[in-house]
């Protein structure tokens, strides 16, 4: 919607929905101030609920983000339109445009029964067709279809697929949370008989999950629930629901698994219709997701189609992504086509997936397979599009020759709204930015995953690291809040946060000693504190803090208790009785640590995996430096959260505790010369980024970090937890040249080295593809791609001011490098669009900034000159010393 200088704009509610927003009972309201206004001190609302006018006038408040619902809670299926007018200093703006949404069918008002297919026993699990019908009058004014499933479903009305969402109802911790979807089906219905169908497969509910392809995580019986509400022209209503009168049968989809693939036989005759099972499952209450849906967001044509020696054809789409293939050339009736998907080609040019095989120490590997199959019926216009699976791939291996024009990649992921652009004079950095952005896209299929191939798990550590970058690239508020609900659902009774959510292991209800032993890691469980804080600072979302506050406290209290009660054997050996500061050293429980630092090489040049080569030594290693650092960060953040939420007592207590943790870290892991005990790049980066180092030692610690980089020939040595902070720490501690030296490094380990070896997404390992072309581990892990936040905050120079939330105040201070002559970028934040551009020319730096309404900016030049400005456009040219 086009912004107005004289009225609020971009009205939103905190909710999801497909073709129209759908809310629960009390949706929060947000808007952006008029473009030229510096803020507001009050507002008026006009609302129409089911056509009834309501007004909320003369509200005294500067708040325009996540404003509490001002009326009684909504009932099921109500339509709402609302607009806002802001006030400042006695002056009123114009009215905003109207914004419309609906409330969903609330749990108490579902009369539809859960229906399940009568299944045929063992073997491949098909997608079942659940079918019903309804007779309607011809004077249909409006119709809404509400549906959900334990499994993945598609709904059809009179043979036409409903909505644009894919892989519904999405991934949740199904023991506690289930979302429904709403669709306008008015145009699909007719007077007389109408056919209703649901195509139902295993999905996340009981399909393969995780590294070991575990099945039946949430249940053993799939089910669906559908409710159709039809309003006639005279205002009367008809309702159709799933129940005992529905039938189930096998259809053309003979096998469907989100991870393994889909098999469709268009020649397969419909199975015999059999009565459905009714209420054969137990399901949680139905809720409405705050996140946008998964959709087919892009089409990519093949870059090349090449015949391989054995008769198969290799299709290269030129981009690693998540999704599936749509194939229109299926051949004559009875033709079988097999499609394998992967990220890499071997030396012969054939598809290889061996780098994605799953391995346990001392056990044989489990081969990785993503395979779709289709049998043609030979009908004109027949297209194979496997919508009950999803793959991570750049390449496809097709078992027979097909018309290249008939095959296309469908890129499938959560339809997140892009919020940032970046470009500069260096094409390598522009390409790195796109590669990292694609890596996040491929891992945003309804939840933030580690990879779209081997595991596809919502690892807490990965998103904790990447969330600040994700929040710059896309509007991830609802997406993140949806995932955080699963994190809360899965939290153990003792307060521990599991490694990945939704938790396919269901550790909360199933005791698995091995999994239990590696649950509760610093940097992973801390996501429950740190991700909501990112949502608050980025979007001003206090609701994200409030709904996660109890889980945050439980996690932090467990970590504090574990620090107090458990000790690492090395410290027990040092002193039988704990030293005084050890009460706050978190070293006696499992930590993943600085996961996946660059691997060392054996004498023969091969990479040495520290976990696989000596699992017990890695497991027992002292990772207290990491644990205590994260304990400090989370306790300090919890104090800030308490302050925002008005819990003054908790804020003071946690602030004092944080200082005691910081002193313990300094006592145990830092010497008087600013050296960390671990002596690694990661330990220095973490110490400086988390503000663990006393001010008087920061310069020395930064020099030690630079010395390690110099000793490594200008290479980084960081892993998952600290790579995102490496370049900002270097630049902010007075070493911008070193930061750019590391960024521009081309030999391994490096980001540009990945690109030089063909990466189109960020690799899991720094050495993801060796010089001879051999791949290791996943080639699409977004964690190390968090480096591109540096391009926005330092190269472009745009970052929030300290203490700001919701971008009420920001700074523009480019960190220059002689290799970059210009940079430009935008950020569509919660207060409006910020645009920044700078250029170096003739010994001068010119900076131009557009400041949105409700924000203020400070622009700082390298010579120290500073300019302050409010809403509007700013441009200034200064000499470079």
CA distances from 527 to 450, 532, 587 (A): 14, 8, 19
Residue 711 pLDDT > 90, yes or no?
yes
For 214-227, the DSSP string reads B--SS-SS-EEEEE
Q: How far apart are CA 472 and CA 60, in angstroms?
A: 31
DSSP symbol at 451: -
Residue in the structure block whose two tokens are 């001068």: 844
Give me the pLDDT at residue 4, please: 62
Strands 261-265 and 371-375: parallel
Give me the pLDDT at residue 644, please: 98
For 623-661, the DSSP string reads -HHHHHHHHHHHHHHHHHHHHHHT-HHHHHHHHHHHHHH
Residue 604 pLDDT > 90, yes or no?
no
E strand spans, 390-430: 391-398, 407-414, 420-424
Percent of the chain with pLDDT over 70: 100
What does the block give as tokens for 838?
């700078």
Residue 174 pLDDT > 50, yes or no?
yes
Q: How far apart are CA 162 and CA 175, in angstroms?
A: 27
pLDDT digits (tens, 9 = 90+) for 187-211: 999 999 999 999 999 999 999 999 9
pLDDT band at 3 (very low <50, low <70, confident <90, very high): low
196 and 156 Cβ atoms separated by less than 8 Å: yes
- Output Rg (C-alpha) for the chain, integer angstroms: 28
295 and 417 Cβ atoms separated by less than 8 Å: no
Burial class (CB in 10 A: 0-12, 13-18, 19+), 462: buried
Mean pLDDT of 661-672: 98
What does the block give as tokens for 642?
């308490």
Q: How far apart are CA 757 and CA 768, in angstroms?
A: 9
Would you call 23 helix, strand, or coil by DSSP?
Answer: strand
524 and 634 Cβ atoms separated by less than 8 Å: no
433 and 424 Cβ atoms separated by less than 8 Å: no
Give me the pLDDT at residue 1, please: 43
Helix axes 695-711, 736-743, angle to 10 degrees: 30
80 and 98 Cβ atoms separated by less than 8 Å: no
Q: What is the mean pLDDT of the chain?
A: 97
> Could you list the active site residues?
455, 764
Helices then strands, each counted (H, E), the chain? 18, 45
Q: Which residues of 289-307 are buried (b: 16+ CB within 10 A; e: fewer)?
A: bbbbbbbbbeeeebeebee
pLDDT digits (tens, 9 = 90+) for 282-340: 999 999 999 999 999 999 999 999 999 888 999 999 999 999 999 999 999 999 999 99
pLDDT band at 699 (very low <50, low <70, confident <90, very high): very high
pLDDT band at 590 (very low <50, low <70, confident <90, very high): very high
Burial class (CB in 10 A: 0-12, 13-18, 19+), 869: middle
Residue in the structure block whose two tokens are 């009736």: 333
For 748-817, the DSSP string reads SSSHHHHHHTT-SS--SSTTSB-TTS-B-S-S---GGGGGHHHIIIIIS-EEEPTT-STTSEEEE-----
Three-class SS string for 801-837?
CCCCCCCCEEEECCCCCCCCCEEEEEEEECCEEEEEE
Q: Among residues 454, 447, 467, 324, which one has the least CA distance to residue 387?
A: 324
Q: Among residues 522, 526, 487, 524, which one has the least CA distance to residue 507?
A: 487
Q: How far apart are CA 244 and CA 233, in angstroms?
A: 30
Mean pLDDT of 329-358: 97
Q: How many CB atoms lie within 10 A of CB 337?
A: 18
Give pairs for 304-312: CB < 8 Å, separation 24+.
305/402, 305/404, 305/407, 306/349, 307/401, 308/348, 308/349, 308/350, 308/397, 309/348, 309/350, 311/399, 311/400, 312/350, 312/397, 312/398, 312/399, 312/400
Q: How far apart are CA 660 and CA 582, in angstroms?
A: 10
Q: Among residues 397, 396, 372, which one has the least CA distance to residue 384?
A: 372
Give me the pLDDT at residue 362, please: 77
Residue 2 pLDDT > 60, yes or no?
no
pLDDT digits (tens, 9 = 90+) for 517-572: 999 999 999 999 999 999 999 999 999 999 999 999 999 999 999 999 999 999 99
Residue 120 pLDDT > 90, yes or no?
no
Strands 277-278 and 115-116: antiparallel
Q: How far apart are CA 760 and CA 393, in angstroms?
A: 11
pLDDT digits (tens, 9 = 90+) for 29-85: 999 999 999 999 999 999 999 999 999 999 999 999 999 999 999 999 999 999 999
What does the block give as tokens for 510?
């199933």
Q: Among residues 428, 393, 380, 161, which one has the least CA distance to residue 300?
A: 393
Residue 817 pLDDT > 80, yes or no?
yes
Q: How far apart are CA 668 and CA 392, in angstroms?
A: 44
Mean pLDDT of 259-269: 97
Q: How far apart are CA 638 and CA 631, in angstroms?
A: 10
Q: How far apart are CA 779 and CA 421, in angstroms?
A: 24
What are the residues whose beta carbons fall under 8 Å from the beta carbon of 740, sequence distance 6 or more? Answer: 817, 819
Q: Among residues 143, 248, 160, 133, which one has the least CA distance to residue 201?
A: 248
Give me the pLDDT at residue 607, please: 85
Q: Among residues 474, 478, 549, which one has the least CA distance to residue 14?
A: 478
Residue in the structure block whose two tokens are 């022209």: 233
Global confidence as pTM: 0.98
CA distances from 362 to 210, 353, 368, 504, 521 (A): 20, 21, 18, 24, 25
Residue 376 pLDDT > 90, yes or no?
yes
The H or E element that residue 91 is part of is strand 91-92
What are the residues whose beta carbons fall under 8 Å from the beta carbon of 235, sequence distance 6 or more? Answer: none
């Amino acid at each position: 919607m086009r912004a107005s200088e004289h009225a609020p704009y971009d009205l939103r509610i905190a909710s999801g929905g497909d073709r129209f927003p759908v809310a629960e009972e009390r949706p929060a309201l947000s808007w952006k101030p008029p473009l030229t206004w510096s803020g507001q001190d009050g507002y008026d609302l006009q609302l129409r609920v089911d056509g009834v006018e309501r007004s909320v006038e003369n509200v005294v408040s500067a708040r325009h983000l996540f404003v509490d619902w001002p009326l009684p809670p909504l009932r099921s299926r109500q339509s709402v339109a609302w607009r806002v007018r802001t006030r400042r200093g006695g002056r009123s703006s114009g009215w905003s445009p109207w914004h419309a949404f609906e409330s969903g069918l609330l749990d108490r008002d579902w009369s539809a029964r859960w229906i399940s297919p009568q299944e045929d026993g063992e073997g491949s699990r098909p997608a079942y067709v659940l079918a019903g019908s309804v007779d309607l009058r011809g004077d249909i004014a409006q119709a809404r279809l509400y549906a959900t499933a334990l499994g993945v479903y598609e709904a059809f009305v009179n043979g036409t697929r409903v909505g644009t969402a894919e892989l519904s109802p999405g991934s949740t911790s199904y023991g506690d949370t289930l979302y429904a979807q709403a669709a306008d089906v008015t145009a699909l219905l007719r007077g007389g008989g109408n056919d209703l169908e649901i195509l139902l497969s295993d999905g996340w509910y009981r399909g393969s999950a995780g590294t070991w392809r575990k099945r039946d995580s949430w249940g053993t019986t799939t089910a669906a629930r559908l409710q159709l509400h039809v309003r006639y022209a005279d205002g009367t209503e008809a309702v159709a629901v799933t129940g005992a009168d529905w039938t189930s049968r096998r259809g053309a989809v003979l096998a469907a698994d989100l991870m393994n693939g889909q098999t469709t036989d268009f020649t397969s005759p419909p199975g015999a219709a059999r009565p459905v099972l009714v209420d054969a499952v137990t399901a949680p209450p139905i809720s409405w997701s705050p996140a946008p849906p998964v959709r087919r967001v892009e089409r990519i044509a093949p870059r090349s189609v090449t015949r391989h020696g054995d008769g198969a054809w290799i299709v290269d789409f030129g981009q690693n992504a998540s999704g599936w293939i749509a194939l229109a050339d299926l051949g004559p009736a009875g033709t079988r086509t097999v499609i394998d998907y992967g990220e890499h080609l071997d030396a012969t040019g054939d598809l290889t997936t061996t780098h994605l095989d799953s391995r346990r120490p001392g056990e044989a590997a489990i081969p990785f397979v993503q395979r779709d199959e289709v049998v043609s019926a030979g009908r004109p216009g027949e297209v194979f599009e496997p919508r009950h699976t999803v793959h991570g791939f750049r390449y496809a291996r097709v078992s027979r020759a097909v018309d290249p024009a008939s095959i296309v990649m469908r890129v499938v992921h959560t339809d997140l709204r892009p919020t940032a652009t970046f470009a500069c004079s260096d094409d390598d950095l522009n390409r790195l930015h796109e590669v990292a952005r694609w890596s996040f896209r491929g891992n945003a299929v309804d939840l933030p995953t580690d990879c779209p191939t081997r595991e596809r798990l919502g690892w807490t550590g990965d998103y904790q690291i990447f969330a600040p970058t994700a929040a710059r690239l896309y509007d991830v508020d609802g997406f993140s809040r949806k995932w955080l609900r699963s994190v809360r659902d899965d939290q153990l009774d003792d307060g521990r946060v599991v490694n990945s959510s939704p938790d396919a292991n269901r550790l909360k209800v199933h005791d698995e000693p091995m999994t239990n032993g590696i649950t509760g890691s610093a940097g992973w469980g801390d996501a429950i504190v740190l991700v909501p804080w990112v949502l608050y600072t980025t979007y001003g979302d206090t609701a994200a803090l409030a709904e996660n506050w109890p889980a945050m406290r439980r996690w932090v209290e467990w970590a504090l208790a574990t620090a107090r009660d458990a000790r690492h054997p090395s410290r027990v050996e040092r002193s039988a009785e704990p030293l005084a500061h050890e009460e706050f050293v978190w070293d006696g429980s499992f930590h993943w640590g600085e996961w996946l630092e660059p691997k060392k090489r054996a004498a023969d040049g091969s990479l040495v995996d520290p976990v696989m080569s000596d699992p017990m030594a890695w497991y027992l290693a002292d990772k207290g430096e990491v644990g205590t650092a994260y304990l400090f960060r989370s306790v300090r953040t919890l104090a800030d959260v308490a302050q925002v939420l008005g819990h003054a007592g908790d804020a003071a207590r946690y602030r004092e505790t944080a200082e005691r943790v910081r002193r313990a870290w300094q006592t145990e892991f830092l010497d008087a010369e600013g050296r960390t005990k671990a002596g690694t790049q990661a330990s220095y980066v973490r110490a400086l980024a988390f503000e663990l180092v006393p001010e008087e030692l920061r310069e020395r610690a930064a020099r030690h970090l630079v010395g390690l980089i110099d000793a490594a020939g200008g290479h980084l040595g960081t892993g998952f937890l600290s790579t995102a902070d490496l370049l900002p720490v270097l630049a902010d501690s007075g070493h911008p040249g070193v930061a750019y030296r590391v960024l521009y490094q081309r030999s391994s380990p490096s980001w540009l080295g990945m690109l030089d070896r063909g990466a189109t997404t960020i690799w899991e390992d720094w050495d993801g593809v060796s010089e001879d072309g051999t791949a290791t581990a996943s080639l699409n892990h977004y964690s190390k791609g968090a480096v591109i936040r540096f391009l926005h905050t330092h190269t472009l120079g745009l970052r929030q001011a300290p203490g700001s939330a919701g971008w009420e105040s920001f700074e523009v201070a480019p960190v220059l490098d002689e290799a970059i002559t210009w940079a430009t970028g935008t950020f569509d934040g919660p207060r409006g669009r910020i645009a920044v551009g700078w250029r170096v020319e003739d010994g001068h730096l010119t900076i131009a900034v557009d400041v949105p309404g409700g924000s203020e900016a400070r622009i700082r030049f390298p010579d120290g000159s500073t300019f302050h400005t409010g809403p509007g456009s700013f441009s200034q040219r200064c000499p470079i010393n």
